[in-house]
Structure 1
Amino acid sequence: MTKHSDLNSAAIAAHCATGAAHVCIEVVDETGSTNADLLARCATLAGPTLRIAGQQTAGRGRAGRPWVSQADASLMFSLAWHFKGPLHQLVGLPLAVGVALAETMSSLGVPVQLKWPNDLLKDGHKLAGILVETQQAPDGGVWAVIGCGINLLMPDALERQIGRSVSAVPWLAQMERNTLVAALLSRLAGVLAEFDDTGFAPFTERWNLLHAWQGQHVKILDNGQLLQQGVAAGVDHLGRLLLRTDGGLQEVMSGDVSLRLLGE
């Protein structure tokens, strides 16, 4: 199997599409968190920067939850991207990133679905997660650092540590890593450039076509407390989850709430 030590910035760049040619690519064997690394450097970054690590010792997901990983079992990277508009124009960005990752996976023969607001599912279980963190830029724009963790393998010991069922794509782990990263970066660069110009609205239909729980009964939780329940009806042009309830159609902003199937 290709090891993380084989990751090489020049090899990744060589496989990237023209639209990603301006992205600086950094490869490290190990770090605490690629998101934290880039957030600490936003003020000095010359342009879009991808940082990928073979292992993260302090990776994290939404709401500060830890991202548990094992070297060579996961693909973990962060992409710092400068957006010209103010922060409120980044509403829906995690969902657009999900579209980019899912479409890339599909092109590689791995059909996946999206779970609102920031997960990729395969066979009903979590395959990948997305974390977007932002920092104001001096020019009035915003730096977004987009962290992605994708399960390539799932050793039994790691799944026990995570404590819940997750999914992985063992055959994708056999793919040459530089080529895989280049495919993901190329699609992401195109999607982020489009999002910077248009916002989430043009991605709405693409996201809804990949919606894992369309038409299913779901519940919205906040720190374990039930906030709402209803039938999932996709997302709107702002990336808000649409719920059909007894009181009519409700829009739910992501924040730190969690989405679950009603029976879970």
Structure 2
Amino acid sequence: MSFQFPASQPSATHLTAARIATFGAPQSDQIDIEVVAETGSTNADLLARIGTVGADSMPPALTRPTLLVAETQTAGRGRAGRAWLSAPSAALTFSLAWPFEGPLQGLVGLPLAVGVAIAETLAGFGVDVQLKWPNDILRFGSKLAGVLIETASSAQGKVWAVIGIGINIAIPDEIRQQIGRDIANLQALAAQDRDLLLGVLLSSLTHNMQQFERDGLAVFVERWNRLHAYAGQTVVILDHGKVLHEGTALGIDRIGRLLLQTDKDSTPIAIMAGDISLRVKDPE
């Protein structure tokens, strides 16, 4: 499926919940959508509302899936507490709080399913991307988007996943220099309709969350592997700069572990996500 942006809607226009809901229909009927001009972290804001008790509580407690979008995040975070820098209209920064019926361990592999949803949605807009294990979306080999998932339990014992997503739209040069590494922009979409993009992303995420809760990660494995950025390449697994493993990246297994062929005659080893880094090995 492909999408086209209305030519009359510039990206600088403020995001609006009503338009996001319109483009996210029919799934948006099941979700509360909120847009704020600025906040520290959309993930932190939603996590604070999961443990809140009572209808009159401030901030209001979450009662169903909720999308919180910020024009600007001043304390956005990535994996391992890394900062996610953004500027107004330069990125889409948002979090989706989603309640799951199953146990916490049932959420293993959720970042991979979210990555598939983002990649497949962007493909519908003519933007081809690839996935880097465990939670990055790459364009032309540079980071375009990232996913941070945090979990919490409500007073009723329900498990919530707060899915934080940041997608670079047009990051200015000064922020690119602060980041200190290559990042990608959706420059072709910079002058287009962010409400439409976010609405379609919300629809895709909703569908994929429902599928994940029903069927688990297994139904996403083949789709993720088709989008694998480093398939067949020699990579290294790093822990605080120290090489833990080196081998050929094969893809993910049914529970989301990265399969690494370290020796031609050996069984591939399975790498669990954690506070580790994945890099393509530099040529000799």
The two structures have a TM-score, normalised by structure 2, of: 0.90
Q: Secondary structure at the match of 2:174?
A: helix
Q: Secondary structure at the match of 1:220?
A: strand
Distance 1:19 1:237 in 2: 27
Q: C-alpha offsets along residues 118-172 of structure 1, whole Å, 9 cap, x if unaligned?
A: 0000000000000000002344431000000000113221110110111111121
Give the alignment partner of residue 195 of structure 1, picking from 212, 225, 230.
212
Give the alignment partner of residue 224 of structure 2, picking from 188, 194, 207.
207
Task: Identify the residue that residue 13 of structure 1 maps to in structure 2.
Answer: 21
- State the 1:19 CA deviation: 2.5
Q: Secondary structure at the match of 1:30?
A: strand
Q: C-alpha offsets along residues 10-54 of structure 1, whole Å, 9 cap, x if unaligned?
A: 111111131232110000000000000000001320100000000
CA contact (8 A) 2:86 2:171 kept: no
- Say yes or no: does 1:216 pair with 2:225: no
- Say yes or no: does 1:231 pair with 2:240: no
Moved more, 245-254 or 199-208: 245-254
- CA-based RMSD of the aligned residues comes to 1.2
- Say yes or no: does 1:163 pair with 2:180: yes
Distance 1:56 1:79 in 2: 15
Distance 1:11 1:154 in 2: 24
Task: Identify the residue that residue 263 of structure 1 maps to in structure 2.
Answer: 282
Task: Identify the residue that residue 201 of structure 2 maps to in structure 1.
Answer: 184
Are residues 10 and 193 of structure 1, via their aligned partners in 2, closer, same or farther at CA, if it must alter by over 3 Å? Answer: same
CA contact (8 A) 1:85 1:140 kept: no
- State the 1:177 CA deviation: 1.4
Distance 1:137 1:226 in 2: 39
**Higher alpha-carbon Rg:** 2
Task: Identify the residue that residue 72 of structure 1 maps to in structure 2.
Answer: 89
Query: 1:48-87, aligned counterparts within 5 Å?
Result: 48-87=65-104
Letter in 2 for 1:40: A
- State the 1:178 CA deviation: 1.1
Q: Secondary structure at the match of 1:47?
A: coil
Give the alignment partner of residue 48 of structure 2, picking from 8, 30, 40.
40
- State the 1:191 CA deviation: 0.2
Distance 1:241 1:187 in 2: 25
The two structures have a TM-score, normalised by structure 1, of: 0.97
Task: Identify the residue that residue 30 of structure 1 maps to in structure 2.
Answer: 38
Letter in 1 for 2:22: A
Q: Secondary structure at the match of 2:84?
A: coil
Letter in 2 for 1:171: A
Give the alignment partner of residue 114 of structure 2, picking from 90, 93, 97.
97
- Say yes or no: does 1:134 pair with 2:143: no
CA contact (8 A) 1:84 1:140 kept: no
Letter in 2 for 1:205: E
Distance 1:173 1:259 in 2: 29
CA contact (8 A) 1:204 1:235 kept: yes
Distance 1:229 1:248 in 2: 14
CA contact (8 A) 1:223 1:257 kept: yes
